[in-house]
Structure 1
């Protein structure tokens, strides 16, 4: 009977025992399987982090499992300590370093607005935050205090993209208060560039003496004359009586020797605040003794640099003899014109003796490359760099191929493109343009290079006999990051042979040029964001009939503007090519 009972018990073994037996059996079976046939696979669910956040946010919204309440000006924000500590080093330190807040159920948050606190708590659980003009500065302050780096950077980026005349001073102060260096530099540059539109504003007149002196003392202050800087200082002085105590520091930043003696005598010297402060009187006396002295270096100046020249006779006559005489001396004359003083200054002579060379600006240097020497019937590979600071020329590594108007002697419609590295002094090839272009206009915008218009020899592209010229209105863009050329929206007009381009306020402007039948007087503007062209104006009648090219001013890092003007007898260009 007992044996039967034992047998029945063994037959009625528990599920757990059966599971253990099956596991033992599995191990016995697997022992006979070669290790090489067993593989390990890693399973990963991409949506898991999002689902975890969504689950934690549901718990927060239902006040479930929350172990801390953030109290901010009467508003409560139930949260989970481990969530706060995971997205903010401020909270991580608060909850893990033995501070009393680590055990408190309610934690008071000082120095943070309730709206910003709510936005950051929501960001901790959703990875999303809504930024607007109304909340960006308070949100930046809160994210800076709580060390939420991603939101802090997002606020800085937002303000950089939305800066304008009305908010630039506030943005500068906000960036300075929270040590946002890039935003501070960007806003300061904007203030200096648009100073004449800003210095009347309440925000500027309310600045501290430290910030006013930083602005007025900058070499980059964009003003047509120094008198305007003094007028800004006077408006700031009259804004608040306490400003009189610091006026000497402000006056010291003004280039008084650059102000006319009559203005110093009739306006500046007669002010009570100047008479009251000995330091101010000393500045005035020194300025009167050294009017327009060079030691008081001027602010940024708009300077036009011209390269090459033609006499009136050479413009009217187009004989081969006259052209050759002009070309022999054309490459030597380099001059600059200062609109503020209406004076011309002769610069270091250009070593090139060629014509139809290319000019480009990079950093504080001007680069001249290629060209054509008609007297020797050859194209050039030479490249030279002009140093504005030293007024000197330096010969650099030559190009890989000869170019004039950026074409080669045997292939006048070259699509080949090369780049030059100033640090290594090495030329390298990059992908060719999609369209073969002769005499295109080229400019740079937002780190990309645009090739605009030009002339296309259709027979070269399609390998057919006979001349077949196509005047292009096409535009293509090269992105150095992707190393690719892409087509953009075409211009409204076909343009080649002397059309000029420039970048102004984030847009590309194209002026002049011609098609098969006539020269153009219209001005077109390209919007990169919309990828559209529109006609925005017209040149004065006759400007496009003057041989040569002109370009919109280009800003140099040393605060000069250069017009990379290269004389080029466009009407005779086809004859020279043959």
Structure 2
């Protein structure tokens, strides 16, 4: 209790706990059956209540009792479309503000809350279901949410399906989808798959659940699978030998189109663009691995640490077999690759790969060239390394690695020699941004089209940058930090391919040269770097919804100069 205002003539008194004390008393009066003026009937159950309380707390009854509807004067009102136990719980909620949600009642409560326009209760039920998503139930929950027009729950279920597509595709709910529901899923750009093989196999499992009834749907489904992204050996050994495909003229045409993509590059421009566009899921939750890098005194490290987003901290992981700073890092098929780097005495051509399931690093075939300050990216079934420094000169050479063959091939050189540039896969191209040639620092950008085998200059950045971070998120390309020849940078730029335009977004909180940038959980993570005085262990995160950066847990074992990759967390 307190006076709200005071002057010489009057005092206004306000009892702040009046309402919180009053409603329990009304609840007790109702429990005693006193002063009740309406009875709600559902099925064979009846519940007495007070019109004024229901009208004040439940929008459905507010409309009923205050707009001269027939029910506004009836002593007994029959309610249709709500489970009796849900109505009882929600009427009790009107008096207490409390409702218990559990696995047994959540769906009936959500139906009742939607019917009565209790949006906060409905949203609480939706949040309860979101926390219990599983590959076995997410499609059923999505269908339920769709019937209630609960868009946030539908969108959350869609994101879960896209993030854990392969796990979902192995469950009975997936195999029970209608043809249109399946097409709606497999056509999406946002599916997170290790390779397009997982989409093909999912479609074939669905068809083979009822071969006679579903084989007629296969051509339309196969048209949504990006067959040209499948490796040639898989097309020959798996797709071409599938009897359901061999027996369909339309399916054979799609297979021939994919074969032509690999055998006749000159015809690739004739393909529909979506068929050769890699899928990309921007909101995957993954473990962030920081690889190699530098100590405070500038020595190279073999140390690896990993950030677990669930617990929110960094911890040591298995070290590489070699010291590597200025190392190139990329992720393919949930494996982390470390390319080249500097071991403290020489530039390296060696490559090693980390298997998170076995928790071991293994060497694979070395690159043709020694490279430190090198950029790397994964596109389709290949890993590309671009430019770098071999100890004598900045490089413009580019190599392509096939994990299936454990083999490196040289591809056409970049237009510019680029050391300490940014390299990233974006919309079916390999982009190389900024960097230097030993004399000049660039704002220039070029991209490689694997369909034509050519590098093309594209719109330059707004700022010259070497030692920059680069990543993609939500169909945009971001660069951050770096060094322009005189200043260590904290500025951040974003490229919109639709507008063909670069623009500045919110700068980082600190200057970061030699910064690593990755996308994880729908945000950008700027990791480590050098601010002109010290190597950095700090990490900050950019939220595109708020255009702001905030600090998160710092690395525990590195002081900047790391290579970084994200391995998605598998769903049990």
Q: TM-score, normalised by structure 2?
A: 0.56
CA contact (8 A) 2:232 2:262 kept: yes
CA contact (8 A) 2:36 2:49 kept: yes
CA contact (8 A) 2:231 2:381 kept: no
Indicate which of 366, 376, 381 corresponds to 2:478.
366
Q: State the secondary structure of the residue aligned to 1:95.
A: helix
1:278-312 CA-to-partner distances (Å, cap 9, x unmatched) read: 76565455445545956313342599999967998
Q: For residue 441 of structure 1, report the CA deviation from its aligned partner.
A: 3.1
Q: For residue 265 of structure 1, report the CA deviation from its aligned partner.
A: 6.7
Q: Structure 1: how far apart are the matches of 2:78 and 2:509?
A: 71
5+ residue gaps, structure 2, are 1-5, 283-288, 292-324, 329-338, 348-369, 387-397, 399-430, 442-464, 516-532, 544-548
Considering Cα pairs closer than 8 Å and 6+ residues apart, tell me whether 1 or 2 has the greater RCO. Answer: 2
Indicate which of 20, 23, 29 corresponds to 1:50.
20
Q: Structure 1: how far apart are the matches of 2:73 and 2:174?
A: 46
1:51–1:282 CA distance, 2 compared to 1 (3 A): same
Is 1:211 the counterpart of 2:181 in the alignment? Answer: yes
Is 1:497 the counterpart of 2:468 in the alignment? Answer: no
Is 1:336 the counterpart of 2:377 in the alignment? Answer: yes
- Name the structure 2 match of 1:317: 345
**Corresponding pairs, count:** 390
1:178–1:277 CA distance, 2 compared to 1 (3 A): farther
Matches within 5 A, 1:401-416: none
- Name the structure 1 match of 2:521: none
1:61–1:209 CA distance, 2 compared to 1 (3 A): farther
Q: Structure 1: how far apart are the matches of 2:42 and 2:507?
A: 66
1:91–1:244 CA distance, 2 compared to 1 (3 A): farther
1:121–1:291 CA distance, 2 compared to 1 (3 A): farther
Indicate which of 250, 272, 280 corresponds to 2:221.
250
Indicate which of 111, 116, 128 corresponds to 1:146.
116
RMSD over aligned CA atoms reads 4.7
Indicate which of 129, 144, 153 corresponds to 1:174.
144
- Name the structure 2 match of 1:441: 538
Q: Structure 1: how far apart are the matches of 2:380 and 2:174?
A: 28
Question: Which structure shows the higher strand fraction?
Answer: 2
- Name the structure 2 match of 1:550: 563
1:361-404 CA-to-partner distances (Å, cap 9, x unmatched) read: 5843332324496xxxx654485647485999969699899956
Q: Structure 1: how far apart are the matches of 2:434 and 2:176?
A: 50
Q: Structure 1: how far apart are the matches of 2:508 and 2:245?
A: 64
Q: For residue 214 of structure 1, report the CA deviation from its aligned partner.
A: 1.6
1:152–1:315 CA distance, 2 compared to 1 (3 A): same
CA contact (8 A) 1:360 1:366 kept: yes
CA contact (8 A) 2:326 2:563 kept: no
Is 1:226 the counterpart of 2:196 in the alignment? Answer: yes
Q: State the secondary structure of the residue aligned to 2:378.
A: strand
Q: State the secondary structure of the residue aligned to 2:36.
A: coil
Q: State the secondary structure of the residue aligned to 1:150.
A: helix
1:433-472 CA-to-partner distances (Å, cap 9, x unmatched) read: xxx985223143998412526xxxxxxxxxxxxxxxxxxx
Q: For residue 78 of structure 1, report the CA deviation from its aligned partner.
A: 1.5
1:161–1:312 CA distance, 2 compared to 1 (3 A): closer
Is 1:300 the counterpart of 2:279 in the alignment? Answer: yes
Q: Structure 2: how far apart are the matches of 1:302 and 1:80?
A: 51
5+ residue gaps, structure 1, are 1-35, 320-328, 408-435, 454-490, 499-547, 556-578
Q: State the secondary structure of the residue aligned to 2:127.
A: helix
Q: Structure 1: how far apart are the matches of 2:490 and 2:88?
A: 63
CA contact (8 A) 1:256 1:287 kept: yes
Question: Which structure shows the higher helix fraction?
Answer: 1
1:42–1:99 CA distance, 2 compared to 1 (3 A): same
CA contact (8 A) 1:337 1:344 kept: no
